[in-house]
Amino acid sequence: MTGAATGIGAAIVTLLAREGAHVLAVDIDGDALRHDLPGITNCVCDVTSAAQVEAMVQAVIDTHGRLDMLFNNAGVGALCDVAETDDDTWDKVFRVNITAVMYGCRAAVPHMRQAGGGAIVNTASISGMRGDYGYGPYNAAKGAVINYTRSLALDLGRDKIRVNALCPGFIANTRLTATLEKLPQRREWDESIPLGRAGTADEMAKVAAFLASDDASYVTGAILAADGGVTAHTGQVN
Task: Using the Cα atoms of residue 23, residue 215, residue 200 and residue 104 in order, give the sign of their dihedral.
Answer: positive
Element (H, E) at 22: none
Residues recorded for the chain: 238
CA 67 to chain CA centroid, Å, is 18
Binder to ligand NAD among 76, 161, 223, 224 (CB under 6 A)? 76
CB 70 within 8 A of CB 104: yes
Binder to ligand NAD among 12, 16, 40, 75 (CB under 6 A)? 75
Establish if 192 lies at the interface with ligand NAD (CB under 6 A). Answer: no
Establish if 48 lies at the interface with ligand NAD (CB under 6 A). Answer: yes
Establish if 230 lies at the interface with ligand NAD (CB under 6 A). Answer: no
Establish if 223 lies at the interface with ligand NAD (CB under 6 A). Answer: no
Catalytic residue list? 138
Establish if 2 lies at the interface with ligand NAD (CB under 6 A). Answer: yes
CB 221 within 8 A of CB 154: yes
Q: Which is nearer to ligand NAD, 32 or 217 (CB)?
A: 32
**CB neighbour burial string for 182-217, b if at least 16 within 10 angstroms, e if fewer:** eeeeeeebeeebeeeebbebebbbebbbebbeeebe
Q: Least distance in Å: CB of 114 to ligand NAD?
A: 26
- Contacts of ligand NAD in 15-34 (CB under 6 A): 27-29
Residues of this chain that interact with ligand NAD (CB under 6 A) are: 2-3, 5-9, 27-29, 46-48, 73-76, 96, 123, 125, 168, 170-171, 174-177
